[in-house]
Each structure stands twice: as C-alpha cells, then as structure tokens.
C-alpha cells in the first residue's frame, strides 16, 4: 500500500524531497538512502547455513518444536534459547547474506545485521524475537520523519489537474516502474471550508500487466493479491479516523486529510493527529482452497522520538481478532490463537536510529511473538508455508528486480527535483 502511495501522492513532489535537507547533504542522503534500498534487492547470494536456516525457520514459524532442536538451523544455543545471526552486505553487484556467530554492526549503506531468537518458555510454548539493523547512510532520523510527514500531506492545496501534472513532471521514472503493477485511477484533492484538504486516491492493481515483464512475480500477485480484501483504519482513542484504506477486487482506495502540512481527522473539525493511535484491520486472501484471514483486529500504535537521534513507530497487539478459517477447523481448540495477544502481546517496531561518529543511520526492525503449539496452528502453518514456497525461487528474484528498479527510479527522480 505504501509503495502505491509514495510516487502517486508525493514521492516526486518538491516539498517532500526537500525533507532530505539541502545542497550536498540532501544529495548524499538521497544517494545513500535509495542506493541502500536498491542494493538490498540485488541478486541475493546466501551461504549454506543461512540458505538452510531461513527455510526451516519459515516452515517452523507456528510449529517451533520442529526447528528448535535442529542444530543446523542455529548459530548458537544456550539453555532454552536458540539464536540465528546473519549479516548481509553489498559485494560485487550482489547482496551476500551469511549466517555465523557474532556478526558485526552495519558499517556502510545496505549492511544488515539480523538476529533471530527462539526461546522455549514451557512445554509447547515458545517466543520468537527478531531484531534487524539495516544501514541507510547519512540521512538523519528527523529528516526521514519529515519526508514521511510531508508525503502524507503532499496533496494539500492541489487540484486533481495540478496533482497529476506534479507527478508527471517530478516522478516520471517512479511512475513508469509502478505502472507495471498499479494505475492511478483517481486522485481527488477536495478543499474544505476550514482550510483542510481531503485527498482520495483510487489505485488499480494489475497482475496481468506485471506478468508481461515479471511472469512469476505477476502470477504470485494474481494468486494472492487479486483475491485479497483488506481494510486498514488509523484512529485516535475516541475512534476519530485519520487514515482509511480499503482494498478489494484489485482496487485500493485511500483517504487522508491534511491541514498546514499535517494529517488531521478525516471527519468533523480537524483534530491534530496524536502520537498514540489505534489500528483497526481486516484482511482475507485465498490460500489453496480456502479464504483465510481475520477481521476486527485492533492494534495499539505509538509514534515516539528520542530527540533528533531516534524515531520509533511501535505496533502492539493485545486483543485477539475474529478469525476467518475453513469450516474444517471448527472442532479444533482455538485457545492457542489467543496466546500471542496475552500478557505483553505481539509486538512490531520500526525505528530509525542515528549512528555515532562515522556510524551510519540504521533502520531498526523488531518483533516479538509467543506461540503455543496446537493442531490449529499446525494447519495455519501449512497454509503460510504454501504461500512462502510459492514465493521462493523465480517469483522472489523477480520481485527483487522490480523493487530495485523502483528504488533506482525514485533516486533519479529525487535527483531531478533537488537539482545539481
């Protein structure tokens, strides 16, 4: 959804790109930021340890006992804890990922340090913890936060004609790459009487077009995305919405409202967006013979900062959603599906942290998930394994190639906007 939103709403707009800073600093930040993302999607070369471990951990995600005692899947173990450390780096026009003990911290753009931990808490109960540090270069966390903020409000004060002209002039390369999969069917900025602007985006998803150049990736999108239905709403504690995204029948609709360069509530008098919000989400897709997913998922969302050096966006799930599962699972005990949301809940954190001295700024990703093994989770694990197996090989390579083209195009568009 964010990939679809970026160039169509603001990736090429001048006020968005100015968030990178000015002069030489801005150009260096753009080169390193988009360059790191592009280089992460070069052809991936994996050492034997990582190649084996990533498959086993994926297949054991919801059935951890099948991988817990597999010494070939881990780089270290101590008591009830298993650890897999992996380092990724850009080398000779390839992205090399190697699992071994004591991997170093990222030192240059596109370096990545991955640490996955599996802890056995009791019989049949395990906790997954993952931390990934990915180097972005010299961009400052405050600048990246400013780019995102300006992106979300980029339609403010524009007409539809102005918005389309801005995209055509300032993001032609990005739009061309995205056009292989997406079409911007609607972009409707509506100026309201209170000075705010309500922007509605309508984005078509075209797996048939994608298959013309990327046949395996396009087929994967057709199989899993074309059949998907989703709704994603960001609200404050009172229920006032700030972002609404809905997708079905290969069409995604997004609504945002801004005032003075900042997001405000979609309805009623414009309320400023608080740092603590709620995500409400529904999602279903077809896997094998069944439509599976969830509805009424409620997640806590916190936007936090630690001065200019760090920005964090944390999502925590403490309330079990309603599940959409095949009828054949009706007799299976559902208690294990509640376990990840108990106690501290399931967690996902995305942050940007400035380095010290010559260290690069890093994108930090953290996650926590508790799993209570059961028959129903083994069934769900078989479905997710099917989707992962379908993605492996050629589909994954083509997706990497498409994303690399996109990030290079975004870099070149940013250069054109920022000037020499």
Q: How many CB atoms lie within 10 A of CB 336?
A: 20
Q: Spell out the residues 6+ positions from residue 419 whose beta carbon is closer than 8 angstroms to its own.
A: none
Which one, of 163, 196, 114, 73, lies nearest residue 64 by Cα?
73
- CA separation for the pair 273, 39 (Å, rounded): 35
Beta-strand pair 44-46/94-99 = parallel
| Residue 1, pLDDT score | 46
Supply the pLDDT for residue 13.
Answer: 59
DSSP string, 178-240: HTTTEEEEEEEEEE-TTS-EEEEEEEEE-HHHHHHH-HHHHHHHHHHTTT-EEEEEEE-TT--
**Tell me, what's the pLDDT at 18?**
61
- Two structure tokens written together for 220: 């994967």
Count the domains in the chain.
Answer: 1
Q: How far is CA 95 from CA 135, 191, 256, 410, in A?
A: 14, 46, 37, 20
Q: Is 93 exposed, middle or buried (0-12, 13-18, 19+ CB in 10 A)?
A: exposed
pLDDT average per 10 residues of sequence, the chain (420 residues): 48 60 82 95 97 94 95 97 98 97 96 98 96 95 82 79 84 90 91 93 94 96 95 96 95 92 93 96 93 96 89 96 86 84 96 91 97 92 89 93 94 84
pTM for this predicted structure? 0.92
In the prediction, which pLDDT does 19 show?
Answer: 65
**Element (H or E) spanning 333, and its range?**
none
Looking at residue 15, its pLDDT comes to 61
DSSP 155: T
C-alpha 86/C-alpha 254 separation (Å) is 37
Is residue 236 a contact partner of residue 274, using CB atoms and an 8 Å limit? Answer: yes
In this prediction, residue 26 carries a pLDDT of 84
* Helix ranges restricted to H, 236-360: 335-338
In degrees and rounded to multiples of 5, residue 409 shows phi and psi of: -65, -40
pLDDT at 14: 59
- Residues 320, 299: contact at Cβ < 8 Å? no
Distance separating the N- and C-terminal Cα atoms of the chain: 31
Residue 335 domain boundaries? 2-418
Asked if 337 and 376 count as a contact pair (C-beta separation under 8 A), the reply is: yes
């Amino acid at each position: 959804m964010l990939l679809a939103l970026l160039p169509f709403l603001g990736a090429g707009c001048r006020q968005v790109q100015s968030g990178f800073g000015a002069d030489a600093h801005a150009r260096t930040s753009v080169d390193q930021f988009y360059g790191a993302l592009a280089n992460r999607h070069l052809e991936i070369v994996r050492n034997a340890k990582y190649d084996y471990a990533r498959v086993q951990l994926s297949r054991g995600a919801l059935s951890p006992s099948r991988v817990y005692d597999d010494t070939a899947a881990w780089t270290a173990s101590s008591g009830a804890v298993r650890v897999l450390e992996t380092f990724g780096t850009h080398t000779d026009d390839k992205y090399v990922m190697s699992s071994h003990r004591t991997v170093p911290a990222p030192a240059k753009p596109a370096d990545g340090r991955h640490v996955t931990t599996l802890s056995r808490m009791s019989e049949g109960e395990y906790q997954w913890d993952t931390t990934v540090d990915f180097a972005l270069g010299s961009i400052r966390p405050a600048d990246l936060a400013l780019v995102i903020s300006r992106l979300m409000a980029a339609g403010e004060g524009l007409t539809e004609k102005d918005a389309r002209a801005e995209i055509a002039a300032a993001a032609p390369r990005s739009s061309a790459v995205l056009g292989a999969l997406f079409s911007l069917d609607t972009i409707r900025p509506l100026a309201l009487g209170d000075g705010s602007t309500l922007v509605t985006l309508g984005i078509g998803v075209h797996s048939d077009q994608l298959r013309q150049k990327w046949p395996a990736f396009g087929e994967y999108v057709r199989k899993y995305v074309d059949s998907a239905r989703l709704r994603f709403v960001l609200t404050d504690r009172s229920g006032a919405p700030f972002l609404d995204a809905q997708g079905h029948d290969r069409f995604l609709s997004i609504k945002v409202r801004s005032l003075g360069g900042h997001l405000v509530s979609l309805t009623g008098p414009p309320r400023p967006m608080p740092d603590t919000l709620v995500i409400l989400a529904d999602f279903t897709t077809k896997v094998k013979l069944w439509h599976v997913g969830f509805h009424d998922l409620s997640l806590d969302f916190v936007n936090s900062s630690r001065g200019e050096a760090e920005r964090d966006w944390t999502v925590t799930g403490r309330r079990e959603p309603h599940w959409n599962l095949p009828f054949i699972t009706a007799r299976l005990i559902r208690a294990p599906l509640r376990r990840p949301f108990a106690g501290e809940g399931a967690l996902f954190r995305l942050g940007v942290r400035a380095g010290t001295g010559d260290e690069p700024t890093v994108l930090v990703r953290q996650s926590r998930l508790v799993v209570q093994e059961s028959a129903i989770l083994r069934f769900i694990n078989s479905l997710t394994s099917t989707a992962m197996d379908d993605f492996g090989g050629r589909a994954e390579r083509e997706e990497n190639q498409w994303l690399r083209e996109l990030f290079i195009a975004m870099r070149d568009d940013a250069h054109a906007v920022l000037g020499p």
